[in-house]
Chains A and B, each alone.
Chain A
Amino acid sequence: MEHTPPPFFKTGPTPLARLLIFSSLSITLLVADTLFGYLTPVRQVAAAAVYPLQRIALAPGAIAERIGEFFVTQSSLRSENDRLAAERLSSAAQLQQLQALQLENAQLRELIEARKRLDVKVLAAEVLYAARDPFSRKIIVDKGLQSGVQAGQAVLDDRGVVGQVTRVYPWLAELTLITDKGHFVPVQNQRNGLRAVLSGTGSEGTLELRFIPLNADFQNGDRLATSGIDGVYPAGLPVAEVANVERNAASLFARITCKPLAGVANRTQLLIVIGRPELPPRPVEEQKSPRPKRARKG
């Protein structure tokens, strides 16, 4: 194949040497990323370099979608319009009620000198693609550092909590969905106020309440909302509905599976909560205590 004569003396390092060099480089990167998290700036620079390629790869799909939109029939538009008008009427009525209630609530809160609850500011973002990583539930959206998105912000859709921003690039952000295996949401049962932690299972459409005692009052159909005690998710957002409660006397805990209320896997428009609720400062950590090993939060 080669038309140049093989260099007899200068061939550089042998393939095995090169393999060792590049493998150890990769392993160094892996360790630096997983154990120490040193590589965020490197990742951001690399992401900026890859960004144009990603946009090019997404272009055919976007064009096909636009062509599809062009051929939407008038009847479907009409029916959608009617439906939206009806929805708007009903929500306008609810909105007026809500405004009245908010006023009343504000007055009452002032009366009891409660801290004012921060208005939740949201930013609309569009889903670009689901990360092609079968090990985790992540999606990429089209808003990033440039739009004020920061890691840790909550993400919602029109029905409930979808997930949390876990990595921010200049123009993109990576969300971890609540169905991801390493993701936890502190919730509260809306029926009786019981608090629990809802964890993802890694499979689509299934969530789990772990370590709930057998006699805890959870029933099928209970709605779970964020409790807000983590400082990440604003309180009172609907998250999931209890789908199945299994009480087996042989095990210590009840097995409670839930299904998310939000369209976790099939939404294209999402809302990122920009403003964070103000929390009192964290208590000062004790100085001489040995640092416990913390499990990495995905």
Chain B
Amino acid sequence: MAETRITPHEILLPVKAGFIAATLVAALLLNLLPWSGHALWIKPDFVALVVLYWCIETPRRIGFLAAWLLGLTMDVADGTLFGQHALAYTILAYAGIVLHRRVRMFAVTSQMLHVVTLLLMNDVIVITVRALAGAEFPGFQYFIGSFVGGALWPFMVALFRLPQRPQPDPDHA
């Protein structure tokens, strides 16, 4: 785990815009897979997870507009209320951007606590919006996905940092 510490001391190459876009599209595809039954309950919201990662990692490059548009996409694909995910992702992006300096100071395992809390907040926003529109509370298993999302965080951090690792220069080897 020591290698995957996000600390200000680790020097990484700048993130390519294409890589950010590719991860976001991949997250969208994962969310759009035909999940059903029990898999639906443990499924984390991949888009929320990836948006949160990029908001913490590069808050200047990815932010509200991307989060909002991805939220609208999820609303259309799932046939939910138009704007429900958009609102939740916007607030999630805000939390990620405001907290990014603080979260980066922690080791990846401690970051998981922040991530789970933020994803739970995301769920609560969605549930509140639906409750205002007249839906009933879907049960506590609705929150399982956020814990799974938190558990996936270290793997995602390790994976997303691979392209930014500086390659050893063959001339200086």
Chain A residues with CB under 8 Å of chain B are 1-3, 15-16, 18-19, 21-23, 25-30, 32-34, 39, 42-43, 46-47, 50, 53-54, 56-58, 60-61, 128-136, 138, 140, 167, 174, 181-182, 202, 296
The answer to whether A132 touches B31, judged by C-beta atoms less than 8 angstroms apart, is yes
**List of A residues within 8 angstroms of B33 by Cβ:** 57-58, 60-61
The answer to whether A27 touches B32, judged by C-beta atoms less than 8 angstroms apart, is no
**List of A residues within 8 angstroms of B86 by Cβ:** 22, 25-26, 29
The total of interchain contacts (Cβ-Cβ below 8 angstroms) comes to: 130
Q: Is the interface of A mostly helix, strand, loop or mixed?
A: helix
The answer to whether B58 touches A2, judged by C-beta atoms less than 8 angstroms apart, is yes
Docked CA distance A19–B15 (Å): 24
The answer to whether A30 touches B82, judged by C-beta atoms less than 8 angstroms apart, is yes
**List of B residues within 8 angstroms of A167 by Cβ:** 79
**List of B residues within 8 angstroms of A133 by Cβ:** 78-80
Taking CB atoms and an 8 Å cut-off, the chain B residues in 26-55 that contact chain A are 28-36, 40-41, 43
Contact with A along B53-84 (1 / 0, CB 8 A): 00001101001110110011100111111111
Interface CB pairs A-B, < 8 A, 23? A1-B57, A2-B58, A15-B97, A16-B94, A18-B64, A18-B94, A19-B64, A19-B91, A26-B71, A26-B87, A29-B86, A30-B83, A33-B82, A43-B82, A46-B72, A46-B76, A47-B76, A50-B76, A61-B34, A131-B79, A132-B31, A132-B40, A132-B78
In the assembled complex, the CB of A14 is this many whole angstroms from the nearest CB of chain B, namely 10
B133 within 8 A of A: yes
**List of A residues within 8 angstroms of B90 by Cβ:** 19, 22-23, 26
In the assembled complex, the CB of A222 is this many whole angstroms from the nearest CB of chain B, namely 28
**List of B residues within 8 angstroms of A56 by Cβ:** 29
